[in-house]
Amino acid sequence: MQLLIGNGVLTPEHTFFDYGCGLGDDVRFLRSIGYDAHGWDPAHRPDAARCGAAVVNLGYVLNVIERPAERAAALRWAFDLTERCLCVAVLVGSAAYSGEAQSYGDGLLTSRQTFQKYYHQEEAGRYLEEVLGVAPIPLEAGVFLIFRQSADAHAFLLNRIQRSVPLIHGVARERKRVLRTALMETFQTEYAEEWAAYADFVATRARPPAGGEINALRVAAEHGLAPADLWQAASGALPQEQLAEQRRRRTNQYLAFMAICRFRGVPRLRDLPVTSRLDIRYYFRSYSHLKQLSDDHLFAAGDAERVARLCETAPAGVNTTDGYFIARRDLPSLDPTLQIYARLGELFSGDLDRVDVIKIHKTSPRLSLFSLSDVRETLPRLRSRVKIDLQSQQVRFFDHSTNAEPELLIGKQLLGFDEGSTDARAVSLGRRLLMQDEPFGLIVRERTVRTRTWAASAGRSA
Ligand SMILES: C[S@@+](CC[C@H](N)C(=O)[O-])C[C@H]1O[C@@H](n2cnc3c(N)ncnc32)[C@H](O)[C@@H]1O
């Protein structure tokens, strides 16, 4: 539920239906915060009506159904009730199969003699597409969205890419300065809200808004100001290099979006949100030009030598013998080809927002996505890892939070995680460890850190 709300898929404007709701806890919770929510469950709420809703949830239901035909029927039922978006959650993981559990049908019987089918991420995605005929969008391990309209799916994907690029540091401050420019004083004072919205638009999209896109243009026109006056005042007050950088980031977002669309089906221009259409016209002149450029980068992303070269010359991140590590938040600084390469991870595994560090493997078409406990720690602990084989599109999730021996990120300073590490010794330890462990990469076992630390200090005192 949190995922749906956090990703903007479920808002109070949407009706919600929980198909296979169990005891109905989620429905009760949503109602308590003002949502129009309902649910049905064959065991716990058999008499409730199965009604249509904008957002339908099918949470951990497919896992428990033994018969494949009944499983597919439940999925179709849930989709039939869906007006806008269906969210399907299944248990993923292969570890369960290696334990004591006994296999049964295409799943297994747990120690409590209940049926469970565990999926692999790509297997679940393929299954949903096979049964529903629509390509699902992975949200995270085992959680998928299936939009009824492809326009909504594309709007979601675009929004996901765009929200991960923050405003460039300092632009917000500059915007305040814009407010003080003499030229627009009256308008800015009397219509401060409209002006702030205009300046915000320019700072984030790095282009002039079109008529109708933003209310300030209408109000300004009523006071004898032309669109060009507003644009000049707002863009002129921003440092030009920051405006150019923001434009570059926006451009790269669309290139990455289009590359992802090559795997899922390219939308018609008219199916994209109006603001995106205007962005595309401004940044690329035409939709076909955007598609052409994106294809060029996608093609380049398939060239291992080229990718390795781009890694070696990247402005951020760390190269080790077999890989290139970059903090997720530094992705926008990369060449579009590398960004597209990393974004393919999102296409196959889910949201990159939860990832702290990305590793591009240089010797094979693979990506590893690392989530850390807290990057403020001197040696942050590895919480989870996703391994993606881009060729076979195989995705594996690993939970490291319960490992008896933690794995640690060394040399975090080299990835720009400097917060909290005022301790100069910790910084230099990180650097030394990194030099020593270079063949192994940046994520190492605690034991290795201990022996290497010892070796490092022994080396220093020798
Ligand atoms: C693991 S529980 C999940 C409950 C709830 N969705 C959640 O996420 O907490 C699985 C539920 O699926 C329901 N279920 C079993 N077969 C079903 C079917 N054919 N259609 C819909 N729900 C079914 C069960 O009654 C059970 O409540």
Per-residue pLDDT of the chain (462 residues; tens, 9 = 90+): 778 987 889 988 999 999 999 999 999 988 988 899 999 999 999 999 999 999 999 999 999 999 999 999 999 999 999 999 999 999 887 544 445 667 888 888 877 788 889 898 999 999 999 999 999 999 988 999 999 999 999 999 988 887 755 545 444 444 444 433 544 677 878 888 998 899 999 999 999 998 888 989 888 877 777 788 888 888 888 888 889 999 999 999 999 999 999 988 999 999 999 999 999 999 998 999 999 999 999 999 889 899 999 999 998 888 888 889 999 989 888 999 999 998 888 888 888 888 999 999 988 899 999 999 988 888 889 999 999 998 888 889 888 888 888 888 887 878 888 755 555 655 566 666 555 544 456 787 877 767 665 555 544 433
Establish whether residue 158 lines the binding site of ligand 1, counting it when its CB lies within 6 angstroms of any ligand atom. Answer: no
Are 405 and 436 contained in the same domain? Answer: yes
Task: Please give the number of the atom of ligand 1 that sits closest to the Cα of 23.
Answer: 27
Is residue 143 within 8 Å of 151, Cβ to Cβ?
A: no
Residues 91 and 191 in one domain: no
* Residue that terminates a domain, selected from 236, 258, 285: 285
Give the containing element (helix H, strand E) for 102. strand 102-104
| Number of compact structural domains in the chain | 3
Choose the residue to mutate in 1, 64, 87, 117 for probing ligand 1, maximizing ligand atoms within 8 Å of C-beta: 64
Name the residue at shortest CA distance from atom 21 of ligand 1. 20
Please indicate, yes or no, if residue 31 is contained in any of the structural domains.
yes
Cα-Cα-Cα-Cα dihedral sign, residues 76, 77, 79, 80: positive
Is 212 found in the same domain as 261?
yes
CATH of the domain at 106: 3.40.50.150
401 and 419 belong to one structural domain? yes
Residues 184, 105 share a domain: no
Greatest pairwise CA separation for the chain in angstroms: 78
Looking at the domain assignment, is residue 93 inside a domain?
Answer: yes
* Rg for the chain, CA atoms, rounded: 25
CA angle 25, 29, 33 (to 5 degrees): 170
Considering the domain architecture, whether residues 268 and 341 belong to the same structural domain is answered as no
CA dihedral in degrees (82, 83, 84, 90; nearest 10)?
Answer: 0
290 within some domain: no
Residues 6 or more apart in contact with residue 177 via CB below 8 angstroms? 237
CA distance 255 to 292: 9
pTM: 0.72
Examine the domain organization and report whether 309 and 455 are in the same domain: yes
State how far the alpha carbon of 117 is from the alpha carbons of 70, 93, 388, 393, in Å: 13, 10, 22, 21
In a domain? residue 296: no
Which amino acid is present at 315?
P
The answer to whether 280 and 290 are in contact (CB under 8 A) is yes
Does an H or E element contain 58, and which? strand 53-59
Domain boundary among 126, 148, 170: 148
Amino acid at 171: V
Judge if 105 and 179 occupy the same domain. no
Residue 169 lies in a domain: yes
Residue 132's domain spans which residues? 2-148
Whether the Cβ atoms of residue 356 and residue 375 lie closer than 8 Å to each other:
yes
Tell me the CA–centroid distance for residue 40 and ligand 1, in Å: 9
Residues 322 and 393 in one domain: yes
Residue 297 lies in a domain: no
Nearest-angstrom CA–CA distance, 299 and 310: 14
Q: Answer with the one of 115, 148, 181 that is the final residue of a domain.
A: 148
**C-alpha span between 176 and 21 (Å, rounded):** 49
274 and 327 co-located in one domain: no
